[in-house]
Amino acid sequence: MDNNSNNLVAFIESARAKNASDDSIAKVLKEEGWSDKEITQAFGSVYERLTGKKIPSRMGSGTRAESAKDAFIYLLSFSTLGSWTFALGSALFTFIDQAFPDKVFGYGYVPASYSIATEMATMIVTFPIYFFVMRYIVGDLEFHPEKFNSAVRRWLTYLALLIAVAVAIGDLVTFLTYLLRGELTSRFVLKVITVLCISGGVLGYYLTWAKKRNA
């Protein structure tokens, strides 16, 4: 235990000796900038000294198995998110190609019906999986609010944000490149807008998600 932790434990013990309640002590410490985790650990040390016993750990809580399970759930949600958003973008691209055919290549080498069938099948399978996985995650966070600050959630959420930002930046760079070359076409502009809308929606949702904290 470092000096800060020792000082925190000593303060809690002194305050409790003066009949201060644990809630009031925790409130004062929060106002002084101590995190919930630091306060909880300090109170745990105090209780262990009082009882002479270590605080028992709940089965599965904080274990590698629990972290692996959370990582699997979040990776499943992000992979299905990527699948159905990519399929949605591809389907919209196909509709744009049909509305604004290329004068050189026409409608392309693959019939539109084939592309649409593949994209629709992907969305039909992956979107419901994503929806129910996210419902599970939200329910799990409501039941275990301490997971709002878990490393797994934060790392994987910011990874999704990084990918969304990278896609949006790449899309804007491509748009400006064609604009400066004077090679913009209606179909290209519509595709740029499509990518920006999808990546922007994902970015906005997960940016809000990343800011959520345990109340």
Chain segment 87-108, per-residue pLDDT in tens? 898 888 888 888 877 665 555 5
pLDDT at 111: 66
* pLDDT value of position 57: 59
Q: What is the mean pLDDT of residues 174-191?
A: 81
The answer to whether 96 and 175 have CB atoms below 8 angstroms apart is no
Q: Could you give the CA distance from residue 22 to residue 45 in angstroms, rounded to a whole number?
A: 13
Q: What local confidence, expressed as pLDDT, does residue 102 receive?
A: 65
Would you say residue 212 has pLDDT above 70?
Answer: no
Residue 146 to residues 46, 56, 72, 143, 150, Cα–Cα distance (Å): 21, 17, 18, 9, 7
**Per-residue pLDDT for 124 more than 90?**
yes
- Which DSSP letter does residue 137 get? H
- pLDDT value of position 125: 94
Express as a percent the part of the chain with pLDDT over 90: 8
The answer to whether residue 132 scores a pLDDT higher than 90 is yes
Residues 25-83 have pLDDT tens digits of: 888 888 888 888 888 888 888 888 888 777 765 544 455 556 788 888 888 998 999 89
Q: What Cα–Cα distance (Å) separates residue 211 from each residue in 1, 29, 153, 204, 207?
A: 30, 23, 11, 11, 6
What contacts 151, CB < 8 A, 6 or more positions away? 67
Q: How far apart are CA 45 and CA 55, in angstroms?
A: 9
Of residues 76, 93, 85, 69, the one with CA closest to residue 205: 85
Residue 56's pLDDT is 67
Apex 212 CA angle, 210 and 215, nearest 5: 160
Segment 183-193 mean pLDDT: 82
Model pTM?
0.62
Spatial distance between the Cα atoms of 46 and 25, rounded to a whole number of angstroms: 13
